[in-house]
């Protein structure tokens, strides 16, 4: 069982994500369960026009938010892979708003973006299941902050949980 990360294993900014994921139980099972529940949530939105809905001016649409979740998943997984493999190269941060601006989802269906999310997570689960105990405490630097392989798992789950709560509270 993967134990929870300690505060020195991640930047304080991520504490909300980590704490949310800690309460969910086994982190690999949580990420697997979230894959299915997140996919089901987005594919249950039948009206494609709803995917273009933003709850306020300047806020992302549902499709943009889901695409952001995919981008973040890929970036967190890349960081995890680098640190697992002993790569000590400091990795850059990313400007989530710039990424959303550059990712044109207007011609995509919500269903196709949901399928992409599920495929990305399924691929990452194979990576997560290959993590050995000695990998968990390996550290690297991302966005100028230290982070461990273990913490990245919890950050990924907590980030997803955070955005799902926003979708349920403000969009649906």
CATH of domain 7-171: 1.20.120.450
Confidence of residue 68 (pLDDT cuts 50, 70, 90): very high
pLDDT at 1: 82
**CA 55/CA 158 separation, integer angstroms:** 22
pLDDT at 125: 98
What is the per-residue pLDDT across 93-140, written as a single tens digit (0 to 9) for each? Answer: 999 999 999 999 999 999 999 999 999 999 999 999 999 999 999 999
**CA 77/CA 130 separation, integer angstroms:** 13
Confidence of residue 83 (pLDDT cuts 50, 70, 90): very high
Long-range contacts (CB closer than 8 Å, 24 or more residues apart) made by 57-62: 60/100, 61/105, 62/110, 62/167, 62/171
Q: Structural domain boundaries of the chain?
A: 7-171
Cβ contact 121:35 at 8 Å: yes
Q: If residue 139 lies in a helix (H) or strand (E), which one and from where to where? A: strand 139-142
What is the per-residue pLDDT across 141-170, written as a single tens digit (0 to 9) for each? Answer: 999 999 999 999 999 999 999 999 999 999
């Amino acid at each position: 069982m993967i134990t929870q990360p300690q505060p020195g294993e991640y930047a304080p900014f991520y504490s909300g994500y980590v704490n949310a994921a800690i309460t969910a139980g086994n982190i690999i099972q949580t990420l697997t369960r979230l894959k299915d529940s997140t996919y089901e949530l987005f594919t249950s939105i039948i009206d494609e026009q709803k995917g273009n809905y933003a709850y306020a001016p300047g806020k992302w649409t549902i499709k943009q938010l889901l695409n952001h979740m995919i981008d973040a998943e890929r970036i967190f997984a890349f960081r995890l892979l680098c640190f697992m493999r002993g790569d000590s190269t400091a990795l850059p941060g990313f400007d989530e708003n710039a990424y959303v601006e550059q990712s044109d989802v207007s011609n995509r269906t919500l269903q196709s973006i949901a399928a992409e999310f599920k495929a990305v997570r399924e691929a990452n689960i194979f990576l997560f299941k290959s993590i050995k105990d000695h990998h968990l405490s390996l550290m690297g630097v991302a966005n100028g902050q230290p982070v461990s392989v273990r913490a990245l798992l919890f950050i990924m789950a907590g980030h997803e949980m955070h955005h799902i709560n926003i979708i349920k509270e403000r969009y649906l």
